[in-house]
Structure 1
C-alpha cells in the first residue's frame, strides 16, 4: 500500500512541471472596465491582470490572455477554446452553463452594481426610472421584474462613455453599472466624479468576481491557496487599483 501511495505521489510531482510548461489560455473581457481590466493595443491590463500574473508567477504557469466580447467569451469557454475565464460567477448564464462541470474559485474581486443618477435625483425612487442604461452583457438583476413587466425599458451600449453621456444629458433616467468603474471613466472624460453617483436607497448587488475553469480544476485549487496564503499581496494589488 505504501509503495502504491509513493508511486502516485511521484506521478503528481511529475505532472506539475508539465502543467507549468503548458500554455493556459485565459479568456477575459474585451470591453474596457477599469480599474478591474481593459485592453489597450491588444494588451490586457488592470487589477485582474496584476492578480493573475502574480498567481501565475508563483506557480510557474504560462498564461496567455485572450480578450473576447462578452457573449463570445462564454461560448469559447464552454466550447473549450479558452481554459480559464475571468470574470465569472456561478449565477451568470446558468441556463447556458447547464451540463458543464465548471469549477469556481474563491471570491477574487469585490464589486457593487447599482443605479447611478445625477446628484439632484438621489432618493427619488425607482418609479421615476423609465429608461435604464447598462453595458452589453450586464444583467440588472434587481430590476428584472420591472423590465419584464415593461415598466422599465433597458438600453444597452458597448461603451461606458456613451452610457454616462446619455445619463448626464437625460437621454436615459439612470445607468446600472459599477460605481468604481463609473468614477474612473468620468475622470478619463475630464468630468467630475460626482456627476453620477450611486443611489444607495435603490436595490443593488454587492458580490464578487470569480476565476473559473472546466479543464483545469487543479489551477482553481492552486489559485484558492494563493488567495489565502498571499492575502497581503492580494490586498496590496487591490489597494493599488483602488478596489
Structure 2
C-alpha cells in the first residue's frame, strides 16, 4: 500500500507546474490510535501519515514528523518547536491556545467520539452509565455536566487495551472513545463484537484538522489539496477503514 501511495504522490507531484521545496516539522501524537495513526520504532504510520505525505509530495514540501506525548505536543506547537500540529481541533485546549492565532484546515478526517458498551447493554440509556472509561487526555464533552455533578465517575487510562479490559470485566459501564479506533483494536484482538457503539447515547460528531500558527499559506494549500483530490482522499479513508460508524454499526 505504501508503494502505491508513493507512486500516486509522485504522479501528483509531476502535475504541479512549479514547486519550491520547504521542510516543515509536523508534531503528531505519540500514541497508538489506528487506523488514524500510530508510531512504531519512531516512525509515524496510519491514515494521517499517508495523507500528509501525499500532500507534501503534491505541493513540493518535505514533512518531518515529530511524535510527542499529547500534552507536550501542544506546548511544543504553541512554543513554535513544531510548525504544524496533527490532529487538532479548535475546541481542544481552547484555554491554553488563548493569545495565539491558530489557522485550521478543512476537515481532514471524521472523528466521532462516543460510548461503546457490551452488546447486552446496547440501547439501555444513559442512566446505567455510572463509571465511564476514557483515554487519558480525552475530554468526554457530552458528559461534562454529569461528571461535574458526580452522576458519572470518569476513569482514565493511558492505554486503550486497559480501557477495553475494564469494560469487559464491568469495571466501567462504557468506554468513551472513537468507535473506529475501538473497532480496529477489537478486530486485531479477534474480539470484534465485544463492545459496540451505542448511537442512542450522547456522542460528539467532529473532525480532525491540520493546524499552524505561522504558516497559514500552507494550510490554504492543504485545503486546496483536499478539495482537488477529494476522490482520492475518500478512497484513502476507505482503504484505512475510516467510515461513518453511524452507518456501519
TM-score normalized with structure 2 length: 0.88
Show CA shifts across 1:120-170 (max 9, x none): 011211111111100111100000000011111111111111101110111
Counterpart in 2 of 1:177?
177
- RMSD of Structure 2 on Structure 1 (CA): 1.2
Instruction: Give the conservation status (yes or no) of the 8 Å contact 1:131–1:152.
Output: yes
Counterpart in 1 of 2:121?
121
Instruction: Give the conservation status (yes or no) of the 8 Å contact 1:113–1:177.
Output: yes
Q: Distance in 2 between matches of 1:127 and 1:184?
A: 28
What does 1:87-126 correspond to in 2, within 5 Å? Answer: 87-126=87-126
Counterpart in 1 of 2:231?
232
Residue 148 in structure 1 maps to residue 148 in structure 2: yes
Listed as ranges, the gaps of 5+ residues in structure 2 are: 1-18, 243-249
List, as ranges, runs of 4+ consecutive aligned residues in structure 1 with deviation greater than 6 Å.
none
Q: When the two structures are aligned, how many residues end up with a matched partner?
A: 225
Q: Distance in 2 between matches of 1:44 and 1:158?
A: 19
| Offset, 1:208 | 0.8
Q: Distance in 1 between matches of 2:72 and 2:129?
A: 31
Q: Distance in 1 between matches of 2:200 and 2:234?
A: 29
- Bigger Rg, structure 1 or 2: 1
Instruction: Give the conservation status (yes or no) of the 8 Å contact 1:105–1:223.
Output: yes
Instruction: Give the conservation status (yes or no) of the 8 Å contact 1:113–1:178.
Output: yes
| Offset, 1:216 | 0.8
| Offset, 1:218 | 0.7
Q: 3-state DSSP class of the match of 1:34?
A: coil
TM-score normalized with structure 1 length: 0.90
Q: Distance in 1 between matches of 2:43 and 2:225?
A: 24
Q: Distance in 2 between matches of 1:32 and 1:88?
A: 16
| Offset, 1:190 | 2.5
Counterpart in 2 of 1:6?
none
Q: 3-state DSSP class of the match of 2:36?
A: coil
Q: Distance in 1 between matches of 2:237 and 2:129?
A: 33
Instruction: Give the conservation status (yes or no) of the 8 Å contact 1:31–1:158.
Output: no
Listed as ranges, the gaps of 5+ residues in structure 1 are: 1-15
Q: 3-state DSSP class of the match of 1:163?
A: helix
| Offset, 1:67 | 0.6
